[in-house]
Structure 1
Amino acid sequence: MLVRFEGADLGYGGRPVLAGLTLGVERGERVALLGKSGAGKSTLLGAIRARLAADRVATALVPQDHALVPPLSVFHNIYMGRLDRRSTLRNLATLLRPFAGDVAEIAPLAGRLGLGDHLWQKVEALSGGQRQRTAVGRALHAGGAVLLADEPVSALDERQSVDVLGLLTERFETSIVALHDVDLARATATRLIGIAAGRIVFDGRAEAVPRSEIEALYG
């Protein structure tokens, strides 16, 4: 078992958002979290991230707010996926003049995300969709066993969303992703978890969860 909660109360400042949660995720699963805004998807992702960090599981993150550094370029923001694996001196040197090897590794990745022509552009000058793809690029560059992503394609069109989620699925053995697009979740996940009013209302194989239950989730 990769991560498990047994009757856990998850929330902030002593106020549970998800109460009495019992949930487990196995390695190799592709989990999609569904539910309205404020249902608790982000809270669950945060709790899973904390557990995996405590267990020293290599995890890549695509947060909902992107967590980019606006004055820096697309290259430098993607490079930050491996910032903790480099020395401080190496990182400072890269800030001034990137090493050819890093550019050779990051440039093709940026190209696959449709950012090849924006590699040296400051993130603050990008569109919302380009920023989102930069955050995805940082996670792809970071790598690891597990991906945690909070609405990683919300600013992308349908074709871009399919392509980006395909890249993420290809790169990570296990993924837990909050999505707003039900059809996309069905197409890319092996397991769907529906959250409403601070509790799990369904949890099953993607092909087995009735559409009526998903529609009720958003009703």
Structure 2
Amino acid sequence: MRHEAGIVEGRAGHGLSGHEEDQVPVLDVRNLKVSYAAGGPQILKGIDFSVDGSDFCAVIGPSGAGKSTLIRCVNRLVEPTDGDIVLFGQNVRALRAGELRHLRRRIGMIFQEFNLVNRMSVMDNVLSGRLGYTGAFRSFFKAFPAEDIDRALHLLERVGLQDHVDKRADALSGGQRQRVGIARALMQKPEILLLDEPTSALDPKISRDVMGLIRELADEFKVPVLCNIHDVQLALETCNRIIGMQDGHKKFDGPSKGMRKQDLDEIYAMEVL
């Protein structure tokens, strides 16, 4: 079953056009397949979808549906077995190592387990988002340009951590650590944000606060988002578009406002919501 998105509700309450024929997508995925071993079972079984500049898109589905694998294929943290991934007009699967490094500078990623360096300060963790531009040598001597330091301070204020700049990352709560991860991702000046279960380690209230913050900042910086998320209700509340997966197949693709109970029942047919 495929549900085509028409006019979708945009971030921050603004109406935005959905998948118009003359709009070039930021990300276009066609017939994506992944097997982790030669001749082994397929994790992704011919997935097709695109992401436009106005999308805040949630990928939902039961455990083992392939959600995390799908997200990680986009920047080749997982190598696809077959299919095409076109990001910013480039065929991701065809890129060599140096080209892939340059592409990844344009992709912000927010992880489930935060991926912070615990012994480093909040400020240094955020500035590490510029490593792809400054290089390890300048980073080692903390020789970041003044504009990077100003941007880091601004982002820390935006995520509510302006009073924690010099704290070690391991002195923060889970919600604060994820806010550091958000600021670090935005330090890259990304053109797309990939979120891999960004709230699964957080309690329900903090999860809503964090997802609301990401949505607000994505709208502010005009960055499309592709988010693997396990909390269906949070996805419906926060995201303007839903991709539903089951057992490596796409079962739904459309606006969150148009999702019906029967659609969820089909996606989660083998799992109790």
C-alpha deviation, 1:212, in angstroms? 3.5
1:38: which partner in 2? Answer: 64
Give 1 or 2: higher helix fraction. 1
**Alpha-carbon distance in 1 for matches of 2:188, 2:109:** 9
**Candidates 125, 141, 154, aligned match of 1:93:** 141
Q: Aligned pair 1:117/2:167, yes or no?
A: no
**Candidates 23, 30, 44, aligned match of 1:6:** 30
- TM-score when scaled to structure 2? 0.70
Quickly say closer, same or farther: Cα 1:170–1:183, change in 2 above 3 A: farther
Paired amino acid for 1:4? D
**Candidates 132, 155, 175, aligned match of 2:178:** 132
Quickly say closer, same or farther: Cα 1:150–1:172, change in 2 above 3 A: farther
**Candidates 80, 94, 118, aligned match of 1:70:** 118
* 3-state secondary structure, aligned to 2:154: helix
C-alpha deviation, 1:93, in angstroms? 1.9
C-alpha deviation, 1:176, in angstroms? 0.6
Paired amino acid for 1:129? G
C-alpha deviation, 1:101, in angstroms? 4.6
1:1-219 alignment runs, 5 A limit: 1-14=25-38, 15=40, 16-50=42-76, 51=85, 52=87, 54=95, 56=103, 58-94=106-142, 101-154=147-200, 155=202, 156-218=206-268, 219=272
C-alpha deviation, 1:133, in angstroms? 1.4
Paired amino acid for 1:122? R
Counting aligned pairs with the same residue, the percent is 31
**Which sections of structure 1, spanning at least 5 residues, go unmatched?**
none
**Alpha-carbon distance in 1 for matches of 2:35, 2:189:** 28
How many residues in Structure 1 have an aligned counterpart in Structure 2?
217
C-alpha deviation, 1:98, in angstroms? 6.5
- TM-score when scaled to structure 1? 0.85
**Which sections of structure 2, spanning at least 5 residues, go unmatched?**
1-24, 77-84
**Alpha-carbon distance in 2 for matches of 1:9, 1:101:** 41
Deviation string 1:139-183 (CA, Å, 9 cap, x unpaired) is 111122111111223322433432333223322432111123333
* 3-state secondary structure, aligned to 2:227: strand
C-alpha deviation, 1:38, in angstroms? 2.5
**Alpha-carbon distance in 1 for matches of 2:144, 2:191:** 27
How big is the alpha-carbon RMSD for the aligned residues of Structure 1 and Structure 2? 2.5
**Alpha-carbon distance in 2 for matches of 1:151, 1:172:** 21
C-alpha deviation, 1:114, in angstroms? 2.4
**Alpha-carbon distance in 1 for matches of 2:182, 2:114:** 9
Paired amino acid for 1:135? G
C-alpha deviation, 1:42, in angstroms? 0.7
Q: Is the 8 A contact 1:193 1:204 kept in 2?
A: yes
